[in-house]
Structure 1
Amino acid sequence: MKILLLEDEYSLRISIKEFLEDIGYEVDCFMDGLEAYDAIHEKAYELLLLDVNVPSMNGFKLLENLRNDDMKIPTIFLTSMTDVQNLKEGYERGCCDYIRKPFDLEELELRINHAYRSYYLDDSDIIDLGQNATYNMTKGKLTINGEEIVLRKTEKDMLEVLIKHKNSVVSIDMFQDEVWGEYVEPATIRVQLKNLRQKLPEGIIHNRRSLGYIIERK
């Protein structure tokens, strides 16, 4: 999982980054709200950890701007604020959780896992893709009309990216970033997408010309 951490307290920022990287997450750190805002538009993050009181643009305003940009990313606020009105403001901006400072890093891990599952998996490992097709996120198993369809690892990874970002367009750059983690020729990505689409019922993955691909589900 790729996480953006916005925290202007140096020791806490480093502690969180080292802890999360030790358990397998990729973490980009920022201490300035405007710099973090720009980075979110340049790279595909799956979760945001935002301090509220930071330079240039506070965490509340940053999340509000992202929502206005139609960017919906699960967000946890890290704050020493205890006032109910402040908590209300954060939830109104669209955060999914709060964690009050000081906190145990293991608690942060639990909250991250809960936020991720709640946001991307709809509290269920079995994703209904429509047209009698389902995908088990835990087992990596695609089933169509009760029959298991074998997917290669890259095809599974691409399908899971589309599921995580359902109802949002996934660009070629996002596939490159989230599946390969390095530069890959766009033609190669399109070939892999073609192979995946051929294994799914027609109409599950839609192509948005010049933008990318999308799975649309309620």
Structure 2
Amino acid sequence: MRILILEDEKILAMSIKEFLEDSGYEVEHYSSSEDAYDAVFEKTFDLLLLDVKVLGERNGFEMLQGLRKEDIKIPAIFITSLTDIDDLTYGYECGCCDYIRKPFDLLELKLRIEQVIKLHCFTSEEEKIILPYEYSYDLKKMKLEREGKTIQLAKTEAKIMELLVKYRGSVVTYQMFWEEIWGEWVDPSNIRVQVGNLRKRLDHDLIKNIRGVGYSIDL
């Protein structure tokens, strides 16, 4: 999962970037709204973290307004020192999904991001997500398919597959597995066994092992 950060406070931006990368996300930082705006059209991002008062001709509100006018629907969270309820209201009118006030705890930011991802990951109008090696994931039926045939998965395997598809393009860490599937700490060796069983059902190396970190599926 790739996240764009627009933040011109360098120390804060680096803290957020390092924290999110340690959490398994791919992050790109921009201090200028113009550079960030251009990057959205040049690269693929799954989430935007936008400060409101930033360097550039546009502030964060104006940047998101411009993207929405161009029919760019990437979910966005505003991060800002503004506290007035009118600013909060305006932020949502511009098209944000959430709004977090400075100063904030990085763990709170992570939780906000996870919530936005859950709400928006499977809201695509498309019924299927196309995966490498001619695999696809049926959003409505929550089933893995290849060449029109359903690959039968056990309950835990299906949950693992859904999580990997949800964060496709990023690494799903062991912590993310036990938090989102088991809801409690699970020994990484047990997770490796479960993922290993799932991989045996696949003809190709769809699920990649990121040694010591977790697993991923390419975009």
Give the counterpart letter for 1:12 in structure 2.
Answer: L
Instruction: Verify the 8 A CA contact 1:134 1:144 in the aligned structure 2.
Output: no
Question: Is the alpha carbon distance of 1:134 and 1:22 closer, same or farther for their aligned partners in structure 2, counting shifts above 3 Å?
Answer: closer
- How far has the Cα of 1:119 moved from its partner? 1.1
Cα pair 2:78 2:98 within 8 Å, conserved:
yes
Tell me if the contact between 2:122 and 2:139 (Cα under 8 Å) persists in the aligned partners: no
Q: Is it true that 1:141 corresponds to 2:144 in the alignment? A: yes
SS at match of 1:103: coil
**What is the deviation of 1:128?**
5.5
Gaps of 5+ in 1: 165-174, 180-218
Please give the alpha-carbon distance, in whole angstroms, between the structure 2 residues aligned to 1:55 and 1:66.
Answer: 17
Change (3 A) 1:140 1:32: farther
1:4/1:28 contact within 8 Å kept: yes
Instruction: Give the direction of change, closer, same or farther, for the CA distance of 1:140–1:110 in structure 2 (3 Å limit).
Output: farther
Question: Following TM superposition, by how much is the alpha carbon of 1:117 offset from its aligned partner in structure 2, in angstroms?
Answer: 1.1
Distance 1:149 1:67, change over 3 A: same
Q: Is the 8 A contact 2:33 2:59 kept in 1?
A: yes
- 1:117 matched to 2:118? The reply is yes
The 3 A distance-change label for structure 1 pair 32 and 140 is farther
Unaligned runs of 5+ in 2: 129-135, 154-160, 171-219
| Aligned counterparts of 2:73 and 2:103: Cα–Cα separation in 1 | 27
Deviation at 1:54, TM superposition (A): 0.4
Aligned to 2:54: 54
> Which residue pairs with 2:41 in the alignment?
41
The answer as to whether partners of 2:127 and 2:139 remain within 8 angstroms in 1 is no
> Secondary structure of 1:72's partner?
coil
Give the Å deviation of 1:144: 11
Q: Could you tell me how far 1:107 is from its partner in structure 2?
A: 0.6
Distance in 2, Cα, partners of 1:43 & 1:88: 29
Structure 1 residue runs of 4 or more that deviate by more than 3 Å after TM superposition? 142-145
Amino acid across the alignment from 1:22: D
CA distance in 1, matches of 2:138, 2:71: 26
Aligned counterparts, 1:1-218, within 5 A: 1-56=1-56, 57-122=58-123, 135=138, 141-142=144-145, 148-149=150-151
Relative contact order higher in (CA < 8 Å, ≥ 6 apart) = 2
TM-score by length of 1: 0.60
Q: Please tell me the residue identity of whatever aligns with 1:21.
A: E
State the shift of 1:141 in Å: 2.8
Residue deviations 1:69-111 (CA, integer Å, cap 9, x gap): 1111100000111101101111001000001111110111111
